[in-house]
Amino acid sequence: MMLKKCVRLVGVTWLSGELKGLTNYLIASMGLQVLWSFALAWLDAYALAKKKVIHNPVLVSLFLVGDWVTAILSLAAAASSAGITILFFRDLGSCQSVPDCPKYQLAVALAFMSWVTVEVSSLIMFWILVAG
């Protein structure tokens, strides 16, 4: 799941990099999310390789807070970018006036999809914390 999330986030960052001025927050948020997801994936792989259980309540609480923070940032970035897409379609009439508009729309869709996976991850962390 973490690997899929990393791939989606890299796709969002690459696709939205074409429109430099409009997507700075989206790129920054997704870049932070890529780093966080990669760190968690690396920690999971390390724990599996060493056959260690990392259900320490302090660590799980740290992961939970990190997931919540990155989930809120990802949702805010996706929502603000979706607002720009609505501006393109409703106020400007179409995407023809903005270069690479279809790429931007795809980046916004991928941002919302990545937010869903981040939210699922944070709910799983919350469940692990409560159950442990």
Tens-place pLDDT, residues 12-67:
555 555 555 666 777 788 888 888 888 988 998 999 999 988 878 898 889 889 98
The pLDDT value recorded for residue 24 is 75
- Residue percentage of the chain with pLDDT more than 90: 8
What is the residue range of 84's domain? 1-131
The pLDDT value recorded for residue 46 is 93
Residue 90: exposure state from Cβ atoms within 10 A (0-12, 13-18, ≥19):
exposed
- Residue percentage of the chain with pLDDT more than 70: 76
Q: What's the pTM?
A: 0.74
The amino acid sitting at 116 is: V
Indicate the DSSP class of residue 96: T
Q: How many helices (H) and strands (E) does the chain have?
A: 4, 0
The pLDDT value recorded for residue 97 is 66
Spatial contact of 124 and 43, defined as CB atoms under 8 Å apart? no
Query: How far apart are the C-alpha atoms of 64 and 69, rounded to whole Å?
Result: 9
Q: Which two tokens stand for residue 87?
A: 């501006």
* Chain centroid, CA 130 distance in Å: 24
* 83 has pLDDT over 70: yes
The closest alpha carbon to 67, from 10, 15, 117, belongs to 117
Average pLDDT over residues 110-128: 87
Structural domains counted in the chain: 1
The pLDDT value recorded for residue 14 is 54
